[in-house]
Structure 1
Amino acid sequence: MKRTLAKSAAALAVAIGAVATALVGPSAANADTTTPTSPPALSDAYGLTRLPTAPKPNVPNTAHDFVITVSTAEVAGTAVNDGGHHMRIVLPSDYYSNPTKRYPVLYLLNGSTPDADVATYFSAYPAVGGSAGMIFVMPDGGPRGWYSNWLNQNSAAGAQRWENFHINQVIPFIDLNLRTKADKQNRAVAGISMGGFGAVRYAERHPDLFSQVASFSGDLDLSRASMDLRMAVVASLTTPLYTPVVGSDDLYGTPYPFSVNYPYSDVLWNDANPGAHAAALQGLGVSVYVGNGGGGPVPPVEDDGDPYGMFFEWWLQGANQHFKAALDAAGVPSYYVNYGDGTGTPWAECRGGHNWLCWKISLDDYIPRLQQAFGVTGAA
């Protein structure tokens, strides 16, 4: 049965960065005879303090694939993340057998969903594993953090300075504690849905930190041309599906052209639109993947019988096309894959929807290309 407009907007907000259902875990990292029995010791630094991580079913906790919990003054902790913020780390299979070797890093950002937890969010993706020859870091992006420092730091959600957390704390923390190649050429950022927006946002705002950026079904247009997506972001703030409920203006101020409150217009929303800063990606490797939710002149019916997320991806196709046009206008080359409804492509299984199957296939395509850019080969 078709939902009400309000419920559809709230559901769209959930799936604009929907969690990929963890049906299968990644392949275990190839062990070697020098592998320790526990993860490496990581020192508190850059405002991050380690907290105990409660055991959770089906969550990796090996020397190569593990979850830690950190607290920070930049972002309020949550109960689902043991009072802080989970961070999953996957090390290359030869990390311990080659103690002087250093590795490139991919920061992989989660999408928006109530009770988002990176400890399990990426567990359905075999490409995220020890055989890739790089370090994977999956830091908590929150259920609706939007990879931004919110305008209102006094909302019911508490401190929400996500960009400070990731850029000023997580990256240097990882470079300090792990054997990374700590330079732009060996650092990439990618994400799913809300995380795709976050990856592009971070690459545009910090092009000195990243050489590669990828978005998988990212909501890459927050301009007035995609008010539907802007309202979906607003819904993630105001719907009871996400707790605590906060104000519609807490993230970037008013989403409307005029307001009696600061900043008096939607200027911050326009500034957060990835297409407005496409030129900043000049010189970076840019990859964009999106489907069309089955296509058609109108969005598919959004109801409980839509396990493929066709309704959600239908809206994202237009947003990604707008972003691609901005890249082209700025003269920024990109690897742009619109797999439509999947027909005749490797994405046929997922039908071009907003779902973990599509993102699994996209990651399977992306990781070998990233390996080539990093100049690494996968382990057997």
Structure 2
Amino acid sequence: MTPLRLTAFGAALALAALTATGTARADAPTAGSAPSAPAIPSFADSHGLTVVRDATEVHGSGDFTITVTTKQLSGRHKIRILLPGGYDAHPDRRWPVTYFLHGGGGTVDDVAAAPALHSDSMITVVPDGGLKGWYADWLMQNTAEGAANWETFHLTQVVPFIDEHLRTRTDRAHRAVVGLSMGGYGSLHYAQARPDLFGQVAALSGGIDFGMAQIRAAVLATELNLVGAWCAVSGSTSTSGSGKCTGYGPYVDSDAIFGSPYPVLDADRVWKAVDPAAPVNLAKLARTGITLYTGNNDIIDIHTAAASKTVKERLDKLSIPIRLVNYGVGASLSPNCDGGHNYGCWAPAFADYVPRLEAAFAATD
């Protein structure tokens, strides 16, 4: 049977009806005086990752980016690392580690828009997730994107690579995964796929219910690179400061990542298998601390709010604790938050969440 595919025109119509988790890009940090160079740990090739020499970028004290290659992905990929202030001063100490997964159209540098993630109580690691990687091992590996095994890259290569080279606490109780938008899907999916790795998970404005047609259409829009509809509602800016959305990379088949999205003759079986809102997947979070944040005040977050509500209701039925913060129009969260799909809300959400995460880490010592 020939798989059913969504054409670009069809996806555009779906978006017009309202779809998507939106582009998650951060404004570039404002240039200033160069900070003193931090002590950068040495990284060697391991776990299938080859470190690109002379490509390290230093952003500030304890804030740097390395570049790697891997057979799991085409091209070069960055990993930004934020070390706690006391990392060098306490050479015998090991630290909790949090993985931050950026959103669609984003990069590792988006973390600069969420200062709370640079904590003095933990290491934060920001691996490249691709413009439209969706934190998945793609069904199609012969698209214009080439090799695209993002889940394998993150879970079987980056995590052990970081544990080998940095002084991390390697038990699940001291490791978290957090993300927003596309990365919100990634964080919840990774926590479900590898509960042995992650003891805490948070999703902000996440595309976390693949049972919703609007969320599926968001994935398709990235595959078809329909930037117009997303840029019109995201308010995103490129890291160059041009104010234009940079897009989601080359056009690929609409079935490239998860296969056919249509619920006909089980054609959408992969979507259902990886759906973070599926009760069978939520049950895997029985021993995991779960936090969700969302607004509901724009044409994107109204859908992430619905997805988050569904996830909470299903977790409640499973008697699994969850903290859901629906900040609505944003006033309860921050004067800078309008309840929409943007860092004006995500930055204060992380400011609220990180101290709670730090306390959770400390409680397990």
TM-score (norm 2): 0.84
What SS is found at the alignment partner of 2:282? helix
* Aligned twin of 1:48: 49
1:69 is aligned, of 43, 67, 70, to 67
> Could you list the per-position Cα deviations for residues 145-177 of structure 1 after superposition, in whole angstroms to 9, with x for gaps in the alignment?
111111111222111111100000000000000
Given the superposition, is the C-alpha separation of residues 333 and 287 from structure 1 closer, same or farther in structure 2, using an over 3 Å criterion?
Answer: same
Q: For 1:14 and 1:337, how far apart are their aligned partners in 2?
A: 20
Q: For 1:332 and 1:121, how far apart are their aligned partners in 2?
A: 31
Given the superposition, is the C-alpha separation of residues 268 and 292 from structure 1 closer, same or farther in structure 2, using an over 3 Å criterion?
Answer: same
Stretches of structure 1 lacking an aligned partner (at least 5 in a row): 78-83, 294-309
Superposed CA RMSD: 2.6
Given the superposition, is the C-alpha separation of residues 227 and 171 from structure 1 closer, same or farther in structure 2, using an over 3 Å criterion?
Answer: same
Counterpart amino acid of 1:278? L
Cα deviation for residue 5 of structure 1 reads 7.9
Cα deviation for residue 136 of structure 1 reads 0.4
* Aligned twin of 1:316: 304
Counterpart amino acid of 1:142? G
Residues 104 and 131 in structure 2, CA contact (< 8 A), matched pair in contact too: yes
Q: For 2:72 and 2:11, how far apart are their aligned partners in 1?
A: 35
Cα deviation for residue 45 of structure 1 reads 0.5
Worse overlay, 233-242 or 150-159: 233-242
Stretches of structure 2 lacking an aligned partner (at least 5 in a row): 1-9, 227-246
What SS is found at the alignment partner of 1:220? coil
> Could you list the per-position Cα deviations for residues 59-82 of structure 1 after superposition, in whole angstroms to 9, with x for gaps in the alignment?
7434511011010111112xxxxx
* Aligned twin of 1:117: 107
Given the superposition, is the C-alpha separation of residues 290 and 145 from structure 1 closer, same or farther in structure 2, using an over 3 Å criterion?
Answer: same
Residues 111 and 195 in structure 1, CA contact (< 8 A), matched pair in contact too: yes
TM-score (norm 1): 0.81
> Could you list the per-position Cα deviations for residues 153-208 of structure 1 after superposition, in whole angstroms to 9, with x for gaps in the alignment?
12221111111000000000000000011111110000011111100000001001
Residues 14 and 236 in structure 1, CA contact (< 8 A), matched pair in contact too: no
| Superposed counterparts of 1:1-380, under 5 Å | 6=12, 9=15, 16-22=22-28, 37-52=38-53, 60-62=58-60, 64-77=62-75, 84-113=76-105, 116-118=106-108, 120-129=109-118, 131-223=119-211, 226-239=212-225, 241-258=247-264, 265-276=267-278, 277-293=281-297, 310-343=298-331, 345-375=332-362
What SS is found at the alignment partner of 1:375? helix
Greater relative CO (CA pairs within 8 A, separation 6+)? 2
Given the superposition, is the C-alpha separation of residues 314 and 92 from structure 1 closer, same or farther in structure 2, using an over 3 Å criterion?
Answer: same
Q: For 2:38 and 2:354, how far apart are their aligned partners in 1?
A: 27
Cα deviation for residue 258 of structure 1 reads 2.4
What SS is found at the alignment partner of 1:138? strand
Given the superposition, is the C-alpha separation of residues 5 and 265 from structure 1 closer, same or farther in structure 2, using an over 3 Å criterion?
Answer: closer
What SS is found at the alignment partner of 2:73? coil
Q: For 1:100 and 1:269, how far apart are their aligned partners in 2?
A: 44
Q: For 1:12 and 1:204, how far apart are their aligned partners in 2?
A: 28
Aligned pair count?
331
Residues 20 and 215 in structure 2, CA contact (< 8 A), matched pair in contact too: no
Structure 1: which 4+ aligned runs deviate by more than 4 Å? 10-15, 23-26, 52-55
